[in-house]
């Protein structure tokens, strides 16, 4: 029996993706023999309804001084976080000398907006290499894992915060209770926690199963989050859907009774009920959709190979690790993956060992098809790659369904 990380009741497994490597574990050929694998399994808690991984690698295996994900590689995300920061400044930083804390601050994509405005801030980023980039940009950052203990140290050194931020990080942390207890310690009585993560409702609607990988311990919904925050005397006061990362939700959380509950919260509760997020059959249905998606994608890739077409992967995203290894995509089906991140180039993709090459290799000789592993950045990428399509190149996407885009 597997115990829920949130409420300790039984978690019902609904899919196993099989043996999976570290999603951001791009590696050299000399490291193949030591590559680490674990079983990527997901379940749904029958009591608090939190969807979660059943096994997760140790955090030091995922977040370290060679972390491969640099947030600022996407200009669209940089714009997104500039808007996010502007809204925070407008709505929540009215006090004299306000203080903003962000966990998972990475290379400073969000906090740079506060630093530039001279606002007191602190980033908490355990992956030392990306933290160093932020520090180099003049953003105050400590390279540690956030939890309750660290929160106490921060309060004694810097005082309490007006706003606590997290983007694509709350769902990464299996010890969620310690994180929330820490946030409670760190926030002023009127302070707010604002965070966003991929939204479970979007994963279900789009069969975007590639959101499921080692780093994502949780797949949040409003109802599962309301369950956990209530235990800490906190409540969700607003929810704002975001169209980044294939469909995210931004949650605003405050100490109980401090802020009115927005109508959007009531409406989303109702929507989640209708979507059946609390029902086991919803997850059986998701598993069937995932299996269908895999079959369709592999049929398409095999057809391409038989007809002698060149297929290249576009963007070596962390999400692609699940798709590649679960579907069984091998270097004979996808020649290489083009990615703009220097630390990934010249290495191999985790598990399947497809070469990762610089963008120049893609643009120097366009393939017949580009398999868009960065589908969450489709708008930005397709706008940039008009010449590829003009030259007869076609896109293969698999979210929300497997299709070829001409
Ligand atoms: N906020 C950025 C980065 C998201 S990636 C963005 O949205 O683009 C997740 C980040 O969280 C990684 O940089 C990782 O090192 C960091 N992280 C993981 N566990 C953490 C913890 N316990 N406390 C703070 N940051 C953590
Ligand atoms: P993400 O989906 O986890 O944010 O990862 C994005 C990856 O995609 C990152 O490795 C950089 C890569 N990328 C490109 O190679 N070209 C692009 O135009 C964009 C937007 C991203
Ligand atoms: Zn539970």
Q: Mind giving me the DSSP string for 150-192? A: HHHHHHHHH--EEEEEEES-GGG-S-HHHHHHHHHHHEEEEEE
Same domain, yes or no, for 113 and 258? yes
pLDDT of residue 195: 99
**Beta pairing partners, 102:** 123, 165
142 alpha carbon to ligand 1 midpoint, in Å?
Answer: 12
Q: Is 341 in the pocket of ligand 2 (CB under 6 A)?
A: yes
At 99, which CATH number? 3.40.50.150
Task: Indicate the pairing of strand 248-255 with strand 141-142.
Answer: unpaired
Examine residue 181 and state whether it is found in any structural domain, yes or no. yes
Mean pLDDT of 224-243: 98
Same domain, yes or no, for 322 and 382? yes
Same domain, yes or no, for 261 and 380? no
Same domain, yes or no, for 371 and 253? no
Say how many residues make up the chain.
406
Same domain, yes or no, for 82 and 147? yes
At 356, which CATH number? 3.40.50.720
Mean pLDDT of 6-21: 97
Ligand 1 pocket test target in 25, 65, 71, 104 with most atoms within 8 Å of CB: 104
Q: Is 169 in the pocket of ligand 1 (CB under 6 A)?
A: yes
For atom 4 of ligand 2, the residue with the nearest CA is: 317
Select from 281, 314, 339 the last residue of a domain: 281
pLDDT of residue 50: 98
Look at the chain and report how many structural domains it folds into.
2
How many C-beta atoms surround the C-beta of residue 342 within 10 A? Answer: 11
Examine residue 24 and state whether it is found in any structural domain, yes or no. no
Same domain, yes or no, for 149 and 204? yes
Residue 306: domain span: 298-405
Of the candidates 114, 162, 170, the one whose C-alpha atom is nearest the C-alpha of residue 146 is 170
Q: Is the pLDDT of residue 223 over 90?
A: yes
Examine residue 272 and state whether it is found in any structural domain, yes or no. yes
Q: Is the pLDDT of residue 316 over 90?
A: yes
**pLDDT tens across 341-391, in order?**
999 999 999 999 999 999 999 999 999 999 999 999 999 999 999 999 999
Examine residue 129 and state whether it is found in any structural domain, yes or no. yes
Task: Compute the distance between CA of residue 101 and CA of residue 165 in angstroms, rounded to an integer.
Answer: 6
36 alpha carbon to ligand 1 midpoint, in Å?
Answer: 21
Mean pLDDT, the chain, integer: 97
Q: Is 168 in the pocket of ligand 2 (CB under 6 A)?
A: no
Residue 384 CA: which ligand 2 atom is closest? 18
Q: Is 71 in the pocket of ligand 1 (CB under 6 A)?
A: yes
Q: Is 73 in the pocket of ligand 2 (CB under 6 A)?
A: yes
pLDDT of residue 30: 98
Select from 231, 246, 281 the last residue of a domain: 281
Mean pLDDT of 30-42: 98
Q: Is 127 in the pocket of ligand 1 (CB under 6 A)?
A: yes
- Nearest ligand to the CA atom of 47: 3
346 alpha carbon to ligand 3 midpoint, in Å?
Answer: 42
Examine residue 382 and state whether it is found in any structural domain, yes or no. yes
Q: Is the pLDDT of residue 148 over 90?
A: yes
Q: Is the pLDDT of residue 63 over 90?
A: yes
Same domain, yes or no, for 271 and 339? no
Same domain, yes or no, for 272 and 306? no
Q: Using 50, 70 and 90 to split pLDDT, how confident is the model at 1?
A: confident
Residues by chain with Cβ below 5 Å of ion ligand 3? 4, 6-7, 9, 45, 47-48
Same domain, yes or no, for 277 and 154? yes
Q: Is the pLDDT of residue 336 over 90?
A: yes
Residue 71 CA: which ligand 1 atom is closest? 8
Query: What is the C-alpha radius of gyration for the chain, rounded to an integer number of angstroms?
Result: 21
Q: Is the pLDDT of residue 55 over 90?
A: yes
**Beta pairing partners, 43:** 13, 52
Same domain, yes or no, for 276 and 328? no
Q: Is the pLDDT of residue 78 over 90?
A: yes
Q: Is 211 in the pocket of ligand 2 (CB under 6 A)?
A: no
Mean pLDDT of 145-155: 98
3-class state of residue 110 by DSSP: coil
pLDDT of residue 202: 98
For atom 7 of ligand 2, the residue with the nearest CA is: 317
Select from 234, 253, 281 the last residue of a domain: 281
- One-letter-per-residue 3-state SS of the chain: CCECCCCCCEEEEEEEEEEEECCCCCECHHHHHHCCEEEEEEEEECCCCCEEECCCCCHHHHCCCCCCCCHHHCHHHHHHHHHHHHHHHHHHCCCCCCEEEEECCCCCCCCHHHHHCCCEEEEECCCHHHHHHHHHCCCCEECCCCCHHHHHHHHHHHCCEEEEEEECCHHHCCCHHHHHHHHHHHEEEEEEEEEEEECHHHHHHHCCHHHCCCCCCEECCHHHHHHHHHCCCEEEEEEEEECHHHCEEEEEEEECCCCCCCHHHHHHHHHHHHHCCCCHHHHHHHHHHHHHHHHHHHHHHHHHHHCCCCEEEECCCHHHHHHHHHHCCCCCCCCCEECCCHHHCCCECCCCCCEEECHHHHHHCCCCEEEECCHHHHHHHHHHCHHHHHCCCEEEECCCCCEEEC
Same domain, yes or no, for 271 and 317? no
Cβ(335)–Cβ(312) below 8 Å: yes
- Nearest ligand to the CA atom of 154: 1
Residue 127 CA: which ligand 1 atom is closest? 15
Same domain, yes or no, for 233 and 341? no
- Nearest ligand to the CA atom of 50: 3
Residue 67 CA: which ligand 1 atom is closest? 15
250 alpha carbon to ligand 1 midpoint, in Å?
Answer: 16
Of the candidates 64, 22, 20, 60, the one whose C-alpha atom is nearest the C-alpha of residue 42 is 20
**pLDDT tens across 92-116, in order?**
999 999 999 999 999 999 999 999 9
Cβ(322)–Cβ(208) below 8 Å: no
Task: Please report the beta strands in 77-233, taking only residues with DSSP state E, as ranges in sequence order.
Answer: 99-103, 120-124, 141-142, 161-167, 187-198, 218-219
Q: Is 173 in the pocket of ligand 1 (CB under 6 A)?
A: yes
Examine residue 20 and state whether it is found in any structural domain, yes or no. no
Task: Compute the distance between CA of residue 104 and CA of residue 144 in angstroms, rounded to an integer.
Answer: 10
Examine residue 286 and state whether it is found in any structural domain, yes or no. no
Examine residue 43 and state whether it is found in any structural domain, yes or no. no
For atom 15 of ligand 2, the residue with the nearest CA is: 339
Q: Output phi, psi for 401, to 5 deg.
A: -150, 160
């Amino acid at each position: 029996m597997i115990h829920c990380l949130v409420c300790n009741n039984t978690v019902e497994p609904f899919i196993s993706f099989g043996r999976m490597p570290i999603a951001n574990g791009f590696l050299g050929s000399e490291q193949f023999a030591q590559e680490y694998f674990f079983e990527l399994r997901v379940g749904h808690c029958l009591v608090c309804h939190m969807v979660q991984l059943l096994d997760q690698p140790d955090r030091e295996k995922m977040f370290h001084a060679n972390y491969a994900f640099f947030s600022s590689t996407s200009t669209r995300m940089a714009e997104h976080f500039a808007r996010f920061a502007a809204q925070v400044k407008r709505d929540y930083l009215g006090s004299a000398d306000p203080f903003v804390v962000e966990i998972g601050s990475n290379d400073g994509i969000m906090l740079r907006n506060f630093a530039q405005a001279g606002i007191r801030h602190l980033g908490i980023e355990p992956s030392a290499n990306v933290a160093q980039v932020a520090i180099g940009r003049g953003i105050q950052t400590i390279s540690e894992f956030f939890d309750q203990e660290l929160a106490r140290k921060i309060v004694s050194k810097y005082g309490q915060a007006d706003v606590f931020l997290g983007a694509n990080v709350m769902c990464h942390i299996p010890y969620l209770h310690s994180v929330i207890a820490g946030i409670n310690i760190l926030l002023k009585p009127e302070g707010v926690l604002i965070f966003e993560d991929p939204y479970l409702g979007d994963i279900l609607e789009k069969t975007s199963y590639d959101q499921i990988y080692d780093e994502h311990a949780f797949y949040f919904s409003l109802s599962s989050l309301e369950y956990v925050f209530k235990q800490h005397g906190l409540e969700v006061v607003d929810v704002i859907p975001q169209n980044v990362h294939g469909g995210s939700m931004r949650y605003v959380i405050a100490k109980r009774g401090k802020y009115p509950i927005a109508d959007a919260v009531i409406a989303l509760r109702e929507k989640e009920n209708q979507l059946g997020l609390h029902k086991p059959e919803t997850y059986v249905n998701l598993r069937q959709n995932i299996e269908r998606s895999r079959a369709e994608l592999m049929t398409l890739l095999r057809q391409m190979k038989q007809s002698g077409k060149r297929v290249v992967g576009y963007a070596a995203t962390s999400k692609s690790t699940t798709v590649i290894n679960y579907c069984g995509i091998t270097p004979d089906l996808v020649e290489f993956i083009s990615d703009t991140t220097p630390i990934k180039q010249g290495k191999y993709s985790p598990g399947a060992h497809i070469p990762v090459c610089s963008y120049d290799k893609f643009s120097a000789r366009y393939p017949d098809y580009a398999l868009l592993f960065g589908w969450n950045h489709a708008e930005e990428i397709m706008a940039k790659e008009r010449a590829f399509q003009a030259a007869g190149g076609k896109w293969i996407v698999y979210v929300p369904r497997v299709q070829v885009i001409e």
